[in-house]
Amino acid sequence: MRWTTACSLAVVAAGAAGMAHGQDGGVLDITLELDGVAVADAAAQLADQAGVPVLVAEHVTGTVTLQLEGVDLETAVRQVAEAVAGSWLRTYVVEPQEATPEEYSASDLLGRLRLAWRDWLLRRSDEELAALRERAGPGSSVLGPAQVEQTPTGGTVVDVVRMVSAPFHEERVTLDLQDVPFRDALDAFTLQSGYLALAPDGVDGVVQAQLTDQPVDEALSTLCRAAQATCRRVYVIGQPQELTPDEVEQWFARMLEHSSARFWQMPPEQRRELVQRAANRMDNLPEDVRQRIGSSPWAPRVMQRVVQYVTQLTPEQRREVAPLLQAFGRLVGQ
């Protein structure tokens, strides 16, 4: 389901009110009576009423029977997701001022979020990652409770929404940013709030802001003004899905293709730093995580896919990514 042009115009018309969301999740009271409505249609009704995009992943199925009267948008999104045993998330999209809001499908947005979370995590120091794990609590990863589970039949249950959702969220932030590049300011915002803000290339600036216990939406708006940009909420509803080993391999292949294209566009020094950091992170995963990955039925096939990819590289490129390949081989036991 795409966020329609009509809904885009509704958000523009909402203007500042669209970013005046507080902890309650929305300035509009949602009132809907849903009786056996397809989840995508239920989400579309929420989006039309609130003027905020509510996207549904393509694989999500089920119908929604709910009576919503005077609830905030975030509560409504949560209840719709729970009605189909699904998951949901809130993220933010940053765009240049006066730009026409871009339309996304759920798969578009989730793909961007996967890459953005990966890059964000790789930029974190070991100390920051340790603090994130501590905040996540027992039984959780840096990105929240376990999002991948093995089934007795050898399948893999994946929740693509929870895979890009942080293990914690704070609705108020305190930041002291003096002459900080906009991208670094967004990193600091995410580190404290748990919310990711997707910003396109070309949106940049220098931030000078002292924020004390400020609502998360207002804080992000302050940062965006330094880059002559605006920001808006987007919600996504997902659902756990079982993937066969073939589907896991195909999913990994798509991720590998997208990641490698971005990787080879980086300057050589940045590539070397990224390879070493990623290799170190894989070597230092908790032992229970290493065992779970090594024993998974899809690990050998994924490793084979990686080897096939590496054979297509030049000798110089293979030498450059060798530490990463070796660490991955140790991780999957090959």
Domain boundaries, the chain: 5-94, 246-334
Structure confidence at residue 304 (pLDDT): 83
**Between 155 and 236, the higher pLDDT residue:** 236
Average pLDDT over residues 14-36: 59
Residue 17: what residue type? A
Give the model's confidence band at 284: pLDDT under 50 very low, under 70 low, under 90 confident, else very high: confident
Predicted pLDDT of residue 22: 38
**Residue 33 burial by CB count (10 A; 0-12/13-18/19+): exposed, middle or buried?**
exposed
Q: How confident is the model at residue 138 (pLDDT cuts 50, 70, 90)?
A: low
Average model confidence (pLDDT) across the chain: 84
Average pLDDT over residues 255-277: 86
Query: Predicted confidence band at 185 (pLDDT cuts at 50, 70, 90)?
Result: very high
More confident residue, 147 or 84: 84
* Confidence band for 74, pLDDT divided at 50, 70 and 90: very high
> Which position has the higher pLDDT, 274 or 147?
274
Q: What is the mean pLDDT of residues 137-145?
A: 59
CB 153 within 8 A of CB 245: no
Candidate from 53-57, 67-71, 256-260 with smallest mean pLDDT: 256-260
Q: What is the mean pLDDT of residues 140-164?
A: 69
Q: Is the pLDDT of residue 331 over 80?
A: yes
19-28 residue pLDDT tens: 334 334 454 7
Residue 62's Cβ-side half-sphere holds a number of Cα atoms within 13 Å equal to: 20
Is the pLDDT at 80 greater than 80? The verdict is yes
Show the tokens assigned to 185: 């300011």
Predicted confidence band at 12 (pLDDT cuts at 50, 70, 90)? very low
**Predicted local distance difference test score (pLDDT) of residue 62:** 96
Residue with tokens 């090959």: 334
Q: Helix (H) and strand (E) counts for the chain?
A: 12, 13
pLDDT range class, residue 334, cuts 50, 70, 90: low
Average pLDDT value for residue range 182-204: 94
Q: What is the pLDDT of residues 205-217, one digit of tens each?
A: 999 999 999 999 9
Percent helix, percent strand, percent coil in the chain, to nearest 5: 50, 25, 30
Burial 274-297 (b: 16+ CB within 10 A, else e): bbebbbeebeeeeeeebebbeebe
The whole-number pLDDT of residue 213 equals 97
CA angle 163, 166, 172 (to 5 degrees): 155
